[in-house]
Amino acid sequence: MKKNPVGVIGAGSFGAAIANLLAENGDVLLYERNTETRALLSRERKVRGFDLHPNIQMADSLEQIASSCYLIFPAVPSQFFKKMIIDFSPYLRPDHIMIHTTKGLHCEFDIDTADARTIRLKDIKTMSELILQETGIVRVGSIAGPNLALELMDKQPAATVVASRFDEVIREGVEALKSDRFQVYGTRDILGIELTGVLKNYVALAAGAMSGLGYGENARALLITRGMAEMIYIGHALGADKRSFLGMAGIGDLIATCSSPKSRNFSVGYRIAKGEKLADILTSLGEVAEGVRTLKIGKLIVDHTWVSAPLLQTIYKVVFEELPMDRAVKMMMRYPVSNDAEYLNL
């Protein structure tokens, strides 16, 4: 990593934030697929009003990233990830290390028409599984944590978790990212870390909706706590270790995204509670809110596995079936829970 620039794919808010963090420790090549946006970034060197670090240079192609960089961080929304990795694959080598930042899942079927009774869980893939499936890269990792992009761009203190089955991936990720304002932890439970980053998105939607109705901190604490329990049950059904949900990438990220208007998913839920239509909200955002996609995939998973997930089921009805949020809150409050932290027995 110290001998080569680090590559970043995707120049949205989070891609730019990661690029700036990496640039504090060395040179960075940043690739943006949209040629007009790429030219604008080269000229103005700003993303969402924040400056790009002087150590960042714009790359002209994926081939340039692959030939120049040993360590690569894709920061692409989940719905575009497979196309990106297929386009990238002819240039990638087995000696590359790839650590993705995408908090989403990919489905090998149409999530809008799929039947939960007939889907196969193996057709729902994490981004690391897609990388392994579509490229010759072996050493793959993921990062997740309380990493709100705008706060990272504003150089506020934060932390993240680098997950991989390979120690050298964790080591390279830590060395590339760590700084006086950014702590980096490591773990081998890559599946758990990827799922924490995905599943917290729908809980953040619910938190935003409750905030939009004027509910306070007691309600938010209840939502976060029971939301984490649901995340653990769903993750357990998919083979993840519950300990990943109790650390920085789990409860840490959940608290951040359920408490901040800077979270896109929180903002979507808030605006739904205020009466805006989902299509209008998504159009005005200008960036992807992964929670909407997570809701669709999550519902297929819980319907298929029969995992108890009343929060997910209820917020799904709010977002896609126009269930009023005040009625949704009453439904969730009536759901029986006899033991606290019962998920620790899994």
Summarize pLDDT for 238-269 with one digit per residue, the tens.
999 999 999 999 999 999 999 988 888 899 99
For residues 223 and 211, what is the distance between their CA atoms, to the nearest angstrom? 11
Residue 100: the pLDDT is 98
Per DSSP, helices labelled H in 182-309 are: 190-212, 217-237, 253-257, 264-273, 278-285, 290-305
Least confident of 20-24, 145-149, 324-328: 324-328
Cross-strand partners of 56: 28
Residue with tokens 């126009």: 322
Residue 294: strand, helix, or coil: helix
Query: Which residue among the candidates 82, 103, 178, 200 is catalytic per the annotation?
Result: 200
State residue 97's pLDDT score: 97
Give the pLDDT of residue 48: 87
The mean of the pLDDT values for the chain is 92
**CB-based burial, 58-80: b 16+ in 10 Å, e otherwise:** bbeebebbbebbbbbbbbbbbbe
- Domains defined along the chain, listed by start: 6-188 (3.40.50.720), 199-334 (1.10.1040.10)
pLDDT tier for residue 111 given thresholds of 50, 70 and 90:
very high
How far is the C-alpha of 283 from the C-alpha of 291, rounded, in Å?
15
% of the chain beyond a pLDDT of 90: 76
**Residue 200 a catalytic site member:** yes
The larger pLDDT score, comparing residue 151 to residue 290, is at: 151
Q: Give the separation between CA 97 and CA 103, rounded to whole angstroms.
A: 19
Confidence class of residue 39 from pLDDT cuts 50, 70 and 90? very high
Average pLDDT estimate for 24-47: 94
Phi then psi for 189, rounded to 5 degrees? -85, 75
pLDDT confidence bin for 336, thresholds 50/70/90: low
Least confident of 12-21, 92-101, 186-195, 285-294: 285-294
> Is residue 177 within 8 Å of 184, Cβ to Cβ?
yes
**Residue 1 pLDDT > 60:** no
pTM to 2 decimal places: 0.92
Q: For position 287, what pLDDT does the model report?
A: 65
CA distances from 227 to 78, 193, 236, 257, 268 (A): 22, 16, 14, 12, 17
pLDDT score for 17: 96
Lay out the sheet containing 6-9: strands in order across. Answer: 56-58, 28-31, 6-9, 71-74, 97-100, 139-144, 158-164, 182-187
pLDDT at residue 338 tops 70? no
Q: Does residue 332 surpass a pLDDT of 80?
A: no
**More confident call, 285 vs 79:** 79
